[in-house]
Structure 1
Amino acid sequence: MSKATFICGIAAGPLFVLSFLIQGSVRNGYDPLRHPVSSLALGDHGWVQSATFLATGALTTVFAVGLRRNLRSGPGRSWGPSLVGVWALGLVGAGLFTTDPVSGYPAGSPDLLPAYGSTQAALHDAVSLVAFVAILGACIVFARRFAAANRRGWALYSAATAIVVLVTLGLSNAAFAQSPNLVAFGGLFQRIMIVAAWSWLTLLTQDVKSRARRVT
């Protein structure tokens, strides 16, 4: 893998997280604890979040291709990079298709629309779900790969990340569906999921980089 490939893999996660943290802190009426990251794509400055989806998706796609070339043997050598690639393409799709308002953002919108307001919103939700399922699957595949290589720390970390993503995906979806006990924390649950997934992928990139350096 080239140096540029590693840079793409390492930069994507921090860029995504930093972007939504800054945007969420300056948007009027936006509550990071309550509202989803995708809602930042709505409103006058929504292009910033859309661009963030596209940019980080493109960076991760480059890394996924390089990862596929790097993993030449062992369990998950095909499925692991492929699932990371699906995560990347899901990010691109989320940038191309804008979500509907939910949980009262933007201000004046209903807590939950009775139906999708547009085909774009339906596609956004579909590609986002596929992306999260893909990164969850990637964690499981790499957990198995690390276990086979007797790298117990990484195997446990990958499995734990999969569990966190699965649980917070369910909680955030229930919250955005206006579950009374969860709705106020939908954004928090989703942010835990996103940070956990990106942290794992960023650290995985670092690990692959360090091991590739030892080989060369």
Structure 2
Amino acid sequence: MTTTSVSVVRTTPRVITRTLLTAGLVAGPLYTAVWLGQAATREGFDITRHPASLLANGGPGWIQTVNFVVAGILSIAAAVGLRRSIAGRGSRWAPRLLGAYGVGLLLAAIFPADPASGFPAGTPADYAEISARGMGHFVAGTIGFTGLIAGCLVMAAHYRSTGQAGWARYSTVTGVLFFGAFAGLMAGAGKPVTITAFGVAIVLGWSWIAAICAHHRQTN
């Protein structure tokens, strides 16, 4: 075997890990760009009244469905990359929980949210019927967001155990804020303040995923 062949064999696992982590680095910005692009162009959509999930309704709803699928696949890839790049405390559960977030996104594509609050255009403003698919979407969100929140806290424990206090604080704050926004959304009955806060939390969650993937990609 030549020296070049040995080098390729030795570096391939590292390249694979970095590629998987790159998926997590890309997932959030891509998801957010597609979501906000639709929010700005879909008739009747109000980002302070309508969560992103409602975009899966109507003629162009396939765009958000594809957005969920792509983001889910990229998140699961990132989870695999994270499992390959960390060791010690939380090294098993943190990737599994991030993977659960990805599974939740895939399930959200399979079970779209019901029309609500006047969206898509033509839906009554007070429409709030929950169908079987709508209940499936609620379950998908619970799986995904619980995975993300718990993943933040498990990664915080991992970072504390490895002496990375800044990353531990960042992970803890992200998990706590996301939990607060998710709880507020569940209790807020569609109020603009809770929907807006949850939209901000989504961006914070994706930013955290991108940040830890970039961090471990750099150190891998």
* Structure 1 residues 210 and 184: alpha-carbon distance in aligned structure 2, compared to 1, 3 A threshold: same
* Structure 1 residues 5 and 114: alpha-carbon distance in aligned structure 2, compared to 1, 3 A threshold: closer
Query: How far has the Cα of 1:141 moved from its partner?
Result: 0.2
Q: Which residue number corresponds to residue 208 of structure 1?
A: 216
Say whether the 8 Å CA contact 1:139–1:162 is kept in structure 2. Answer: yes
TM-score by length of 2: 0.88
Q: Which residue number corresponds to residue 180 of structure 2?
A: 167
Letter in 2 for 1:102: A
Distance 2:65 2:194 in 1: 20
Letter in 1 for 2:145: F
Distance 2:125 2:163 in 1: 48
Larger radius of gyration: 2
Distance 2:143 2:46 in 1: 25
* Structure 1 residues 188 and 151: alpha-carbon distance in aligned structure 2, compared to 1, 3 A threshold: same
Query: Over aligned residue pairs, what C-alpha RMSD do you find?
Result: 1.5
Letter in 2 for 1:8: A
TM-score by length of 1: 0.90
Query: How far has the Cα of 1:111 moved from its partner?
Result: 4.6
Match of 1:133 among 133, 139, 146: 146
1:4-23 CA deviation, whole Å, 9 max, x = no partner? 21221111010001011100
SS at match of 2:20: helix
Gaps of 5+ in 2: 1-13
Q: Which residue number corresponds to residue 9 of structure 1?
A: 24
Say whether the 8 Å CA contact 2:44–2:121 is kept in structure 1. Answer: yes
Query: How far has the Cα of 1:112 moved from its partner?
Result: 5.3
Letter in 1 for 2:160: A
Q: Which residue number corresponds to residue 60 of structure 1?
A: 75
Q: Please give the residue correspondences for 1:53-202 in structure 2 after superposition, counting only pairs within 5 Å.
A: 53-71=68-86, 73-111=87-125, 113=127, 115-117=129-131, 119-175=132-188, 177-178=189-190, 183-202=191-210
Say whether the 8 Å CA contact 2:118–2:127 is kept in structure 1. Answer: no
